[in-house]
Amino acid sequence: MNSPLTTTTEALDPRTPVLVGVGQSSERIEDAGYRGRSPVELAADAAHQALADSGADVRAIASALDTVAGIRQFEISTPGARAPLGRSDNYPRSVAQRLSANPARAILEVAGGQGPQHLITELAAAMAEGRSEVALVFGSEAISTAQHLAGAENRPDFTEHVDGPLEDRGYGLKGLSSRHLAAHGLNDAPSQYALFENARRARLGLSRPEYAARIGALFAPFTQVAAANPHAAAAVERDAAELTTVTEKNRIISDPYPRYVVSRDKVNQGAAVLLMSVAAARRLAVPEDKWVFLHGHADLRERELMSRQDLGRSPAAVSAVRHALEVAGIGPADLATIDLYSCFPIPVFNICDGLGLDPADPRGLTVTGGLPFFGGAGNNYSMHAIAETVDRLRAAPGTFGLIGANGGTMSKYSTGVYSTTPAPWRADRSTALQTEIDALPPVGEARLADGWATVETWTVKYGRDGARTGIVIGRLEADGRRFVARAADGDKALLDLLSTGEPFGTRVYARSFGTGNRVTADDTMMDELFPPRPAVLRNDYQHVLVRREGHLLEVTINRPKARNSLHPEANKELDEVFDAYFSDPDLWVAILTGAGDKAFCAGNDLVYSASGKPMWVPKNGFAGLTSRREMCKPVIAAVNGFAMGGGFEIALACHLVVADTTARFALSEVKVGLVAGAGGLVRLPRAVPQKLAAEMILTGRRLTSAEALHHGLVNRVVEAGSALEGARALAREVLDGSPTSVRASLQIMAETQGIADTMDAVTHPSPALDELLVSEDSVEGITAFAQKRKPNWLNR
């Protein structure tokens, strides 16, 4: 046992932070006296209780508040989130206003369940440094009420406008999700946590029934605590078997999670914590038997999901708890109360595994009842846990309580160790520990996964209608890189394996598409479900026109009413056309243009995008060109009118550009809240002076065709309406040369583009040069020159 660092209250530095008041509020729709309170009202009620709980004069404390800090509700935690009954535009000051308080500082914390403990640690440190004296932290959710009353004829309006400065820290979602994960179905918490859960089961070598029994045994005691908690949203005691037996009510959500073991977000709950410096507590006459000290604390962040060494563990969370105990000078055995964030079983198991705690520890692992049973009060759950812990510690002076607060996908972990025993403020070493975590080597990731692989972990998502979506994280056999993929629709054998079998280590076959990676049981099934597309031109394209004349291919984007902007189907057709072009030895040059005289291409079809339909581009990028690795034959852009956004990126990807006098070039993405992610941010700064590129990218400045010619973005400018004819003239000049030489020249330019030293680039040994020197075109060109005749190119 360690020795806690304690002292007497008389010996404390006056700036020492101390918790002096806690409060909770809640209501259930089915309860008598249900009032349908807003999030602000729930938080204000909890805040009133926290001030009163201090035992001091409530008005005096409200007047003394210098800082209020609010936890984000779900409805303000992500861009575009709906608030069906309206919301406050300054949540912290809305709550403060109801307390008749006017603090100098108001904070709106980032999203994440770590927020309550993180804010308390942060504000306690500010007090220890003399930058604050009285602070109130609070949060609330009224999700149940919002859903219940959203369709009511006389629904309430929770909209509020409050003036005053607000320190809005933003959503804080960086690194917590990605378009890539979402494209593979990992756009919800149960699915991501299920991956961790199944990875842990694999490590332990447990069968499905054995692991389900462990989940049930872990959470059954949580239901007992919730059943005795008057603030619990689901105050029902259930045994282990009931928790994990799939029934109509306890439907499976994401394997291995039935509904009863998943965080319950339909709650109406609020909680608040009042902090003061010792000097302020004395000045405001807060009785010392109300004081609770933060003995230890830590804040650490885990790596992003796909780069973690072991998807069944979170070493950062374990390190955070260990370090908080170390700062407090105690060990796990010294704790009287424990509350581990329990949105799903795995965050609790993770700490138990790391600290050697028995999941059946008689002290219990929750003081509230846990998120599936007490309620997952959005980002604010741990505020309730802290309030409960403070009450218990006051009832047993001198004991210690642990709070473990988890955010994201086991991404952020904040911990606190509390006791009524007086203790000086002690700083933690979280920054140094974070540096160590960040220095660990990440697992390599394959965004595009192709070839044989093995299953590392998996889950199956279930719709209410029973529809299954299989999601796999695997390792490629070729190089060991990790990838995420969806089980291919139609591969019933693989879906059955993922649903009922033992997939760990199973060999599967992966293939990448513009819509993401897919896995099947084997390569034969992959070819059956996704027959290889023949690289030949068709005559039935819906959004593209093609014209073949000798060795020249003309491609026209045929969406003039949409200014030739591109949506997934148009991109797909262009990708198919250029696959055929690059594969056909009789096609030597291609021209790409847009139908009509208004636009070459106006970029992404934003109207289609705003419709909510899924947006994707082929693996080869916008128009099948911007991400194509081997542009082994010339493509000429004939720009007539606007080349905006993605349209300009297409032109930048082409080898040659002919523009008419009406052409305008711009990367306009910043004007609509996007970025030029299809190559514009890379290619434009390499094509024009850096300052000009920055101006165009940051302001959306448009270049005329004359300006584009001056800066080398286009090869030729022709009269209005003659871009295509100008491109044809340029194509004829290219066609006069050897197609074999043209291809070799393009290859050598591509190979040497990244070589900084000129002589190294000049002496680069390219296989293209060797192949050219033994080609029939090389012999024909020299012979024709000697015979003073026009060469008869054979393209071989």
- Render pLDDT for 274-305 as a digit per residue (tens, 0 to 9): 999 999 999 999 999 999 999 999 999 999 99
Residues 655 and 775 in one domain: no
Residues 41 and 83 in one domain: yes
77-91, 205-219, 744-758, range with the lowest pLDDT:
744-758
Domain stops at, among 439, 468, 492: 439
Q: What secondary structure letter does DSSP report for 292?
A: B
Instruction: List Cα–Cα distances, 757 to 454, 475, 754, 760, 763, in angstroms.
Output: 42, 37, 9, 5, 10
Q: Is the peptide bond before 256 cis (omega within 30 degrees of 0)?
A: yes
Position 692 scores a pLDDT of 95
Measured CA to CA, the distance from residue 8 to residue 634 in angstroms comes to 81
Q: What percent of the chain has pLDDT over 90?
A: 83
Position 547 scores a pLDDT of 96
Position 1 scores a pLDDT of 44
Residue 574 belongs to some domain of the structure: yes
What domain range includes position 573?
544-735
Residues 699 and 605 in one domain: yes
Domain holding 614: CATH number? 3.90.226.10
Residues 140 and 270 in one domain: yes
Q: What percent of the chain has pLDDT over 70?
A: 99
Position 178 scores a pLDDT of 85
Residues 688 and 579 in one domain: yes
Instruction: List Cα–Cα distances, 102 to 66, 71, 209, in angstroms.
Output: 8, 18, 56
Residues 731 and 748 in one domain: no
Average pLDDT of span 697-707: 95
Q: What secondary structure letter does DSSP report for 302?
A: P
Domain holding 501: CATH number? 2.40.50.840
Residues 96 and 116 in one domain: yes
Domain stops at, among 415, 439, 463: 439
Q: Which two tokens stand for residue 26?
A: 């809640």
Residues 368 and 483 in one domain: no
Position 764 scores a pLDDT of 86
Average pLDDT of span 532-558: 94
Position 5 scores a pLDDT of 65
Q: What are phi and psi of 646, to 5 degrees?
A: -60, -30
- In the predicted structure, residue 111 carries a pLDDT above the cut 90: yes
pLDDT digits (tens, 9 = 90+) for 490-506: 999 999 999 999 999 99
- In the predicted structure, residue 611 carries a pLDDT above the cut 90: no
Q: How confident is the model at residue 525 (pLDDT cuts 50, 70, 90)?
A: very high
Residues 711 and 752 in one domain: no
Sorted by sequence, the CB contacts under 8 Å of residue 383 that are 6+ apart come out as 71, 116, 137, 138, 139, 271, 272, 273, 377
Position 4 scores a pLDDT of 67
pLDDT digits (tens, 9 = 90+) for 304-360: 999 999 999 999 999 999 999 999 999 999 999 999 999 999 999 999 999 999 999
Measured CA to CA, the distance from residue 495 to residue 500 in angstroms comes to 9
Domain holding 399: CATH number? 3.40.47.10
Position 747 scores a pLDDT of 87
Residue 221 belongs to some domain of the structure: no
Q: What are phi and psi of 722, to 5 degrees?
A: -120, 20
55-69, 113-127, 612-626, range with the lowest pLDDT:
612-626
Average pLDDT of span 73-90: 92
Measured CA to CA, the distance from residue 417 to residue 117 in angstroms comes to 10
Query: What b/e readout covers 63-84, taking b as 16+ CB neighbours within 10 angstroms?
Result: ebbbbbbbbbbbbbbeeeeebe
- Total tally of structural domains belonging to the chain: 4
Token pair 């949506």 in the structure block, residue = 567
pLDDT digits (tens, 9 = 90+) for 371-421: 999 999 999 999 999 999 999 999 999 999 999 999 999 999 999 999 999
Neighbours of 538 (CB within 10 A): 12
Q: Which two tokens stand for residue 414?
A: 């904040």
Residue 228 belongs to some domain of the structure: no
Q: What secondary structure letter does DSSP report for 604?
A: B
Positive or negative, the CA dihedral 372, 393, 269, 231 is: positive
Q: What is the pTM of this model?
A: 0.91
Position 608 scores a pLDDT of 86
Position 261 scores a pLDDT of 97
Residue 536 belongs to some domain of the structure: no
Position 3 scores a pLDDT of 59
Measured CA to CA, the distance from residue 38 to residue 346 in angstroms comes to 32
Q: Which two tokens stand for residue 305?
A: 């999901």
Beta strand 552-557 with 544-549 is: antiparallel
Residue 430 belongs to some domain of the structure: yes
Average pLDDT of span 77-83: 89
Average pLDDT of span 239-243: 97
Q: What are phi and psi of 305, to 5 degrees?
A: -50, -50
- In the predicted structure, residue 2 carries a pLDDT above the cut 60: no
Residues 82 and 157 in one domain: yes
Instruction: List Cα–Cα distances, 2 to 249, 334, 398, in angstroms.
Output: 47, 9, 15
Q: How confident is the model at residue 675 (pLDDT cuts 50, 70, 90)?
A: very high
Residue 646 belongs to some domain of the structure: yes
Average pLDDT of span 534-541: 91
Residues 492 and 521 in one domain: yes
Residues 769 and 699 in one domain: no
Residue 226 belongs to some domain of the structure: no
Position 61 scores a pLDDT of 98
Average pLDDT of span 149-176: 91
- Residue 401: which of 448, 326, 492, 332 has the closest Cα? 332
621 contacts 628 by C-beta, under 8 angstroms? yes
Residue 163 belongs to some domain of the structure: yes
Catalytic residues: 649, 669
